Amino acid sequence: MENKKLMIEKATFPVTGMMCAVCAGTVQKTVGELTGVRAAEVNFATSSVTVEWDSGVMSPAMIAEAVRKAGYDMIVAGDEAEAVEEKERQEAVAYRSLKMKVIIAWVLTLPVAVLCMTHIHFPGEAWWYMAATLIVMTVCGRGFYVRGFRSLIKGRPTMDTLVALSTAVSFLFSFFNTLWPEFLEGRGVRADLYYEGAAMIIAFVLTGKLMEGRSRRNTGAALRALMGMQPSEALRIGRDGKIETVKISHIVPGDLLRVRPGERIPVDGRVEEGVTSVDESMLTGEPAKVEKQKGDKVSSGTVNGLGSVTIRADKVGADTELSRIIRSVREAQGSKAPVQKLVDRISAVFVPTVIALAILTFVVWSAFGSEYLPQALVASVSVLVIACPCALGLATPTAIMVGIGKGARKGILVKDATALELLSKVNTLLLDKTGTVTEGHPRVTDTFFAPGYGEGEGRERLCALLYGAEIDSTHPLAEALSLYFRQEGIVPVRPGHTDYIPGKGMKFEADGKSWFIGSADIAKADGEFVSKAAEWQDNGLGVVAASCDGSPVALFCVEDRIQPGVAEAIRSMKDKGIEVAMITGDKRSAAGNMAARAGISEVYAEMMPSGKLEVVLELRSRGRVVAMAGDGINDAEALAEADVSVAMGTGSDIAIDVAQLTLVGGRLSMLPEAMGLSSRTVRIIRENLFWAFIYNIIGIPIAAGVLFPFGIMLTPMIASAAMALSSVCVVGNSLRI
């Protein structure tokens, strides 16, 4: 039998209609059980579901249909921007509808509540109360009953189920007493009416949802601000030289675009014509504008200064750096911190437990005698209402969402909620040297050539080959050499074949010979070369060696500078008890010199990528919580194994892909701020969970009537108000981050 090839796709879809964490669990279970779906993760705070599916078996439309049958809506659109736009449109419509329902509910509920509480009687009052309450339930609260009873039938009760059951019981009991008051009165029990309780529950829950919706919009402000940086249109220069306005989606790599002063740059590309300065603070966090001229890179979303420039598009749409950041932020806000797993397990059994407690409360009260039947009803309904799990479900995701959003706006890109939680627990920090502690832009300051290669055609041919081999490399030392050759006026000659040796350098074949450029110790150097390399290295300078058929032909002295603010950042982290060490492939002398200047006392030098990995594993085996910061391909293994991995945004794509956290501007000085953000977020999560748990631990017994002997009985009306307030408090507390 032929095996069918899996065609795995992954995407995030907006979901509307979820009212609590249990609703999110219902959507996740519904999607996760579909044939062809490999994984499903729902985030209640962002109202979205991330799905991984086999496109040969399942499709987004089929997933959306399953979600709809579960009582919710999943938005499937042509692209991400369109889906978000449709979600925001639907949410705006739903918000206006909810606002109108709240107004109607209070207009009808307040007179009922006031008349009942003041004991003002008039002919037909019970029927008037019943009519007003019925309108509130069917017009304003209809969604609770549709979703609530549907989920109850499927065996997955939610917050809607609690509201639907509590109000339905209150209304039906009151309706029975309105029709046949003599049934209870003939048995010595007052035929009380609880119409105002049912109406007030719906009014308060709707009001809480309105306030929660308004507050939760603030938690997504950072992501919306990032998306607002993407221009929707651009000026494209046609083949005939005419300029036309086109949508961003119509631009392809290679197009020439005109960017006027003050406009946002629409794509990632290079300047083809003109000189300007660009505000790149959204990427680097630095307020100073960066000068741009022909050949310089520009990024989507950055703001052009006073000059008008022509740029050639390199990356467009979802491939731009800004789109990558937006995508990472959204995925991170949808990821779950370790503490959330406990909350999810609790939420899964919370509603069934509450229903059981409400039934038990009714049974216990009724056991005292028929005269306690009204108290039994009030207590059981109050338990159903006050125990809503909204606050518990919002406690972690809203804090994570706000924390990640705050970081993104400051150039701290968190890709995983786990990293945001663990970063505050880090006690050991490993730092790569080049591009992490240093600026990563070394310059060639001196050279040394073997006889026959230091001048004339020999030097020109050697430099041309080395330039051709290094010109496409993004390694800082390769860029330093390329800059040196370019300034020397060398024309690059591309070798036929090149091989990159991790941690060592590059081999290539040219002119029938085998060439190498990289670490100084790989060449069979003679005395002069050894002494010259040692002289530079003793002074803490970097050395790049070139050899031909194993014999040294040139040495290049390169020097890098420590990033501004790094020494202060390292001192700050050491003051917090974090052990900081440098881990690098450079020579011990060069690494030691740079570490001393940065204030780092422990150095792991001359480390291959496997060696860096072994250091991380050894530290973790000793119980240390290890963070690793790096920027190169040779750091990828160690980054992947560290408890928290940090990449410099100016480094290699591989390091950025592996890392859980990226400092977009490539500035290590931002790391203490990221740690501070982690500490604040974790503190807020703990506060939210504490209050959510305490609220239920205290509220449920009071609602059940444990304080009745002291004359205190919680009414469903007060319980619904307290429930709504708890959710708003959790969201408000999260916004303090």
Nearest partner of 659 among 412, 346, 330, 340, judged by Cα:
412
Contact criterion met (CB below 8 Å) for 598 and 407 = no
Rg of the chain over Cα atoms, rounded to whole angstroms, equals: 33
Find the catalytic residue in 432, 560, 586, 643. Answer: 432
**Residue 641 structure tokens:** 């194994």
The number of angstroms, rounded, from the C-alpha of 200 to the middle of its chain's C-alpha atoms is: 38
The number of angstroms, rounded, from the C-alpha of 30 to the middle of its chain's C-alpha atoms is: 24
Rounded (10°) angle between helices 321-334 and 221-228: 160
Continuous H helices in 285-389: 321-334, 338-367, 373-386
Instruction: For residue 371, give the H/E element and its range.
Output: none
Contact criterion met (CB below 8 Å) for 71 and 157 = no
SS3 214: helix
The number of angstroms, rounded, from the C-alpha of 207 to the middle of its chain's C-alpha atoms is: 29
631 is catalytic: no
What is the rounded CA–CA span in Å between residue 718 and residue 699? 11
What is the rounded CA–CA span in Å between residue 728 and residue 258? 47
Continuous H helices in 154-254: 159-179, 181-185, 195-219, 221-228
The number of angstroms, rounded, from the C-alpha of 242 to the middle of its chain's C-alpha atoms is: 42
Backbone angles phi, psi at 454, to 5 degrees: -90, -10
What is the rounded CA–CA span in Å between residue 283 and residue 298? 11
Nearest partner of 379 among 736, 701, 110, judged by Cα:
701
DSSP-assigned beta bridge partners for residue 285: none
Question: How many residues does the structure list for the chain?
Answer: 737
**Residue 510 structure tokens:** 């040219």
Contact criterion met (CB below 8 Å) for 471 and 495 = no
What is the rounded CA–CA span in Å between residue 278 and residue 255? 20
What is the rounded CA–CA span in Å between residue 503 and residue 634? 6
- Structure-token match 């709240």, residue found: 102
**Residue 451 structure tokens:** 């006889």
Backbone angles phi, psi at 581, to 5 degrees: -135, 150
Contact criterion met (CB below 8 Å) for 210 and 725 = no
- Structure-token match 């300029």, residue found: 243
Nearest partner of 505 among 542, 535, 534, 544, judged by Cα:
544
Nearest partner of 373 among 169, 78, 601, judged by Cα:
169
What is the rounded CA–CA span in Å between residue 636 and residue 655? 5
What is the DSSP code (8-state) at residue 39?
E
Residues 6+ apart with CB under 8 A from 355: 157, 161, 162, 165, 384
Continuous H helices in 70-156: 80-117, 125-135, 142-153
**Residue 289 structure tokens:** 């504008």
What is the rounded CA–CA span in Å between residue 73 and residue 14? 8
Contact criterion met (CB below 8 Å) for 77 and 83 = yes
Contact criterion met (CB below 8 Å) for 130 and 181 = no
Contact criterion met (CB below 8 Å) for 442 and 480 = yes
What is the rounded CA–CA span in Å between residue 500 and residue 522? 14
Tell me the catalytic residues. 432
